[in-house]
Amino acid sequence: TWPKPESVARAMYDFLTGGGANVARGSASKRDLKSMDTVLSCREELVSLFGGWDDDPRYATFTANVTESINVVLKGFLKPGMTVLTSSMEHNAVLRPLRRMETRGVKVEIAPCDEEGFLHPDIFAEALSRTRPDLVILSHASNVCGTVQDLSALAPLCRDAGVPFAVDSAQTGGILPISLRELGLAALCFTGHKGLLGPQGIGGIVWNPEFAQKVDWFVEGGTGSFSHLEFQPDAMPDKFEAGTPNLPGIAGLLAALSWLGETGINAVRAREEALGTRLLNGLLTLPGVRLSGRRTMEGRLPVFAVNFEGRDNGLVAGRLSEEFGIETRPGLHCAPLAHKTLGTFPGGALRLSPGYFSTEEDVDATLSALRTILDS
């Protein structure tokens, strides 16, 4: 997501020029304490935003991105002989680790989504009963076509079956309300650079404390704590945070979370939905358009995957960029299984998505540019 709130860049600059000390590795100077306060404040904001258990900041741990977060959960929990259930709309951040683990004795089951990318609760319930998985992992919304899964219907099914449920919130964090505690999730994996409006290179996991104890650490090393131990400590958050963290990224993420708190998720969602409605209605009037996913804004994000009859998506994207300065993404979007579900494999689709800082004029200019290209 770009642009970011101005406060994000300012916070990162201020951290690097006004202190920049590592965390829990200094002499309790003002610089050290300032870094520790930044990290703790960011953890507190995260557990508040995502409904962490008892608002305990120890159970918000940092990674480099949501892909790493998902790998931590999958590779730290699943063992040979276990079964994992996922869906046919997953990003490669889920699919590739699972395919590798499949070669090492983990059974991978995939619940089919419909042609709009939606996982019906009855289909999921049947798959849950039939496969008896040890873990469920699903994306909250598709990065390809924006379809949102109904966590409020899926989570109770996992809870009743006694199966831990991990969620990839890459597309929805900061845009849709999610409560780890209310849904009974085992882990919520997030990234900072999308809906949270933070910088690239920072992500993390908000944990159910009981589940966190069952997950092995992904990386071992110095934590600035328990230095007398030659083994990785079990204490949270140290268990999952070996090595120097991305402190400028954490400072930027904290500023982004503060901006979100002041602006309000509902306001962000309303703004993006209005822009999405404007873009969606315009796309549906274009000649030869094929829209993947839902044809209304109900149950979706303003992420649109389109194809135009007789047109190469890469060429359309190139003209949008070169002639009109409009950035889109053609191709498979790191989600081949999702495109197979939507019927757009192997060619993929052209993806367009307005953000909070987009304008009505941006949307109209995009539609006008597409008409010009399609008429030529």
Residue 165 β-bridge partners: 136
Domain that holds residue 370: 265-375
Residues 120 and 258 in one domain: yes
User: CA 314 to CA 345: how far, in whole Å?
Assistant: 14
- Identify the pLDDT of residue 34: 87
Residue that finishes a domain, picked among 214, 244, 263 = 263
347 SS3 class: coil
Residues 206 and 282 in one domain: no
Residues 217 and 314 in one domain: no
Q: Which amino acid is at 54?
A: D
Residues 326 and 338 in one domain: yes
- Identify the pLDDT of residue 314: 97
Q: Which of 299, 243, 279, 294 is nearest to 366 (CA)?
A: 279
CATH number at residue 231: 3.40.640.10
Residues 304 and 217 in one domain: no
Task: Report if residue 282 sits inside a domain.
Answer: yes
Residue 206 β-bridge partners: 60, 188
Instruction: Write out the chain's pLDDT in tens, 376 residues.
Output: 899 999 999 999 999 998 888 887 665 577 888 899 999 999 999 999 999 988 999 999 999 999 999 999 999 999 999 999 999 999 999 999 999 999 999 999 999 999 999 999 999 999 999 999 999 999 999 999 999 999 999 999 999 999 999 999 999 999 999 999 999 999 999 999 999 999 999 999 999 999 999 999 989 888 887 888 878 889 999 999 999 999 999 999 999 999 999 999 999 999 999 999 999 999 999 999 999 999 999 999 999 999 999 999 999 999 999 999 999 999 999 999 999 999 999 999 999 999 999 999 999 999 999 999 999 8
Residues 179 and 229 in one domain: yes
Residue with tokens 């507190």: 44
Residues 222 and 371 in one domain: no
Residues 118 and 217 in one domain: yes
Task: Report if residue 316 sits inside a domain.
Answer: yes
Which pair of structure tokens corresponds to residue 152?
């409020």
Q: Which amino acid is at 369?
A: A
302 SS3 class: coil
Which pair of structure tokens corresponds to residue 123?
């289909």
CATH number at residue 352: 3.90.1150.10
Number of domains in the chain: 2
Q: Which of 216, 206, 181, 180 is nearest to 43 (CA)?
A: 206
Full-model pTM: 0.95
Residue that finishes a domain, picked among 263, 285, 309 = 263
User: CA 345 to CA 331: how far, in whole Å?
Assistant: 9
Task: Report if residue 190 sits inside a domain.
Answer: yes
- Identify the pLDDT of residue 27: 58
Residue that finishes a domain, picked among 248, 263, 278 = 263
User: CA 260 to CA 266: how far, in whole Å?
Assistant: 10
